[in-house]
Amino acid sequence: MSINRARQRRRQDRIGDRHEMLVIIDAPADKPDVVVAQCDCGSVREYFVCNITRPGHKSCGCYKANPLTKATRRHGMSRTKVHNTWSGMMKFADDYKEAAA
């Protein structure tokens, strides 16, 4: 019981916290391991607390679905593997253009 109550308070304290693209906006009282978070793209979903607080790239899924848009929009993403891969592709495209010119 007391563990649940402590957990509940901690979740409430997290409201307003940003985790990459997700901002915690609610902590449902009936779901001790879940928070509600809004993604930068506007989508609102429930997430497990352990998932949202764990290091890693967090979004509702739109970041993975559209890496170009998100990587250019958020500087925090600039060192991600996806971004590096994309930069490599862009460099390839530049080299190709130079070679073709």
Closest approach of Zn ion to the CB of residue 30, in Å: 25
Residues forming contacts to Zn ion in the complex (CB under 5 A) are 39, 41, 43, 59-60, 62
Q: Which is nearer to Zn ion, 59 or 77 (CB)?
A: 59
The candidate with the shortest Cα–Cα distance to 28, out of 38, 37, 20, 19, is 37
Order across the sheet with 44-48: list the strands. 18-19, 22-26, 34-39, 44-48
Q: Is 43 exposed, middle or buried (0-12, 13-18, 19+ CB in 10 A)?
A: middle
Q: Which is nearer to Zn ion, 7 or 40 (CB)?
A: 40
Closest approach of Zn ion to the CB of residue 26, in Å: 17
Q: Which is nearer to Zn ion, 5 or 45 (CB)?
A: 45
